[in-house]
Amino acid sequence: MFDTKFVIVVRDDLETWQKLNVTAFLSSGIAGNTPEMMGTPYKDAAGNVFRSLSVQPCIVLSADGNTLGNIHRRALSRGVEAAVYIEEMFATGHDEANRAVFAEYDPDSAKVVGIALRADKKIADKITKGAKLHQ
């Protein structure tokens, strides 16, 4: 049905609230930059209108920190644009501070806690190799 795969990988040792927070931020990074992923608004039987949702399912995986670092580097080496959340962003309180702390790290020093991407299925599978279905 889809030629692409929308996947989010979160670090397996995060607190539950952190996993949910990272997943929400990362999904917005993909959906916000991929307008064709968004469906039309929903309408209930009473005529209330609700925001549109992604037309494509999202696969949520988990991995340890080393595997996430490898996934990050593989996405970069394949030229796949990704949304990335690093550990230091938990200590900030707003977008500008997030971007400032993010800019202090490169792919080899970043403590990646989550990454999201949308790419051809085979490429997405190669990039996320080593991650497991989140449970």
**Distance, CA of 71 to CA of 15 (rounded, Å):** 21
Which residues, other chains included, contact 17 with Cβ-Cβ below 8 Å and sequence gap of 6+? none
Predicted confidence (pLDDT) per residue in 63-87, tens digit: 999 999 999 999 999 999 999 999 9
- Which pLDDT does position 1 carry in this prediction? 82
**Distance, CA of 95 to CA of 88 (rounded, Å):** 13
**Domain ranges for the chain:** 4-38+52-133
Residue 110 has pLDDT above 90, yes or no: yes
Token reading at 2:
């889809």
124 in Cβ contact with 4 (< 8 Å): yes
Fold of 4-38+52-133: Bit1 (3.40.1490)
Identify the helix (H) or strand (E) that includes residue 43: strand 42-43
Question: What pTM was estimated for this model as a whole?
Answer: 0.94
Give residue for tokens 């959906």: 31
**Distance, CA of 44 to CA of 55 (rounded, Å):** 18
